[in-house]
Amino acid sequence: MKSIHPKLLFYLILSFILCTVIGTLTHEGGHIAAAKYYGYETTLHYGSMNYKKPWQAQFDTMQAIYKRHKLDEDNHIKHLESTRQDSLASEIKEHYTRREYIQESALITIVGPLQTLLTSIIGIFILLYRRQSILARGMQLWDWLAVFLALFSLRFVSNLTLSVLSELWKPNGNYFGGGDEARLARSLDLPLGMFAIPLFIIGFLTALWVIFKILPAKHWLTFILSGLIGGVLGFILWMDWLGPIVLP
């Protein structure tokens, strides 16, 4: 492992900062694309997105009524709010069941991580294709771009690492936080780590492969240091400072 290269370090730090922002927005863009497909109105924020049907308020009220009278509802028995519920249902433009809502929400949730994973896979395939060229000629601009695409899966590593650290710092009995992976597992009644742990492993192994199998040894120290600095700075700058101003 060679010494640190200051100029490369500077450019890589900037790249990690930029990719942190791009990765966050494209991840949320995956959610938005899926929500748009199902006819939802969407709103993009710096670290999240919201979606709702044009008649979401009526549907939410119907959901609340269902929860209050779940036993009667499940047995198709009329209750005190049945008339109000029927009135709300007539305001909804299309037939839409609670089961369909749950299914669509799960699909909207999964598309974000899927987008991140697919981007990483594209980067990996490019690097596999370019590997011999990298060995012969060193890293070119397109190779660096492919490296950062492949490392989009570091999002999964970051998510679980931050969740575990947060639990250790302020215990609440949940090591998997409230991210997409845990949210999806919860909606499907699966263990909270069902998606978070495998995706963490994929992201971690991808990073090891990119650094130690693709990058020349002379770049290892510089790249690892730039990733730590740029990743942390990118997260802080976007999530705590610039993001809330640009996309509140």
In a domain, 155, yes or no: yes
Beta strand ranges found along the chain (DSSP E): 41-44, 49-52
Q: What's residue 225's pLDDT? A: 97
Q: Are 102 and 155 contained in the same domain?
A: yes
- Spatial contact of 96 and 38, defined as CB atoms under 8 Å apart: no
Considering the domain architecture, whether residues 32 and 153 belong to the same structural domain is answered as yes
Instruction: Based on the fold, state whether residues 58 and 88 are members of the same structural domain.
Output: yes
Question: Does residue 146 share a domain with residue 81?
Answer: no
First to last CA, the chain: 42
In a domain, 180, yes or no: yes
50 phi-psi bin (left φ>0, alpha ψ -120 to 50, beta other): beta
| Residue 9 in domain | no
Q: What is the mean pLDDT of each run of 10 residues along the chain (248 residues)?
A: 86 97 96 91 93 76 86 83 82 60 87 97 98 94 97 96 91 84 88 95 98 96 97 96 96
Q: Are 18 and 27 in contact (CB under 8 A)?
A: no
68 and 172 together in one domain: no
How many whole angstroms separate alpha carbon 101 and alpha carbon 110? 14
Q: Residue 184 and residue 175: Cα distance in Å, rounded?
A: 15
Q: Based on the fold, state whether residues 71 and 141 are members of the same structural domain.
A: no
Amino acid at 47: G
Whether residue 100 is contained in a domain is answered as yes
Both 35 and 65 in a single domain?
no
Based on the domain organization, do 118 and 206 belong to the same domain?
yes
Q: Rg of the chain over CA atoms, in angstroms?
A: 22
- The domain in which residue 186 lies consists of 24-53+96-246
Q: Which of 95, 123, 145 is a domain's end point? A: 95
* Domain assignment present for 49: yes
Residues 69 and 130 in one domain: no
Candidates 207, 206, 204; CA nearest to 220 is 207
Can you give the pLDDT at residue 96? 58
Together in a domain, 130 and 242: yes
Helix axes 56-68, 98-137, angle to 10 degrees: 120
Q: Do 126 and 238 share a domain, yes or no?
A: yes
Contacts of 97 (CB under 8 A, 6+ apart): none
Evaluate whether residue 144 is within a structural domain.
yes
What single-letter DSSP state applies at residue 151? G
Instruction: List Cβ<8 Å contacts ≥24 apart for 98-107.
Output: 98/63, 98/66, 101/59, 101/63, 102/187, 104/38, 105/187, 106/184, 106/187, 106/188, 107/34, 107/38
Q: Flag whether 193 is in a domain.
A: yes
Residue at which a domain ends, from 79, 95, 111 = 95
Give the chain's domain count: 2
184 plus 235 within the same structural domain: yes
Instruction: Please provide residue 54's backbone torsions phi and psi, each rounded to the nearest 5 degrees.
Output: -55, -25
Residue 69 belongs to some domain of the structure: yes
Tokens read off for 106 = 């799960």
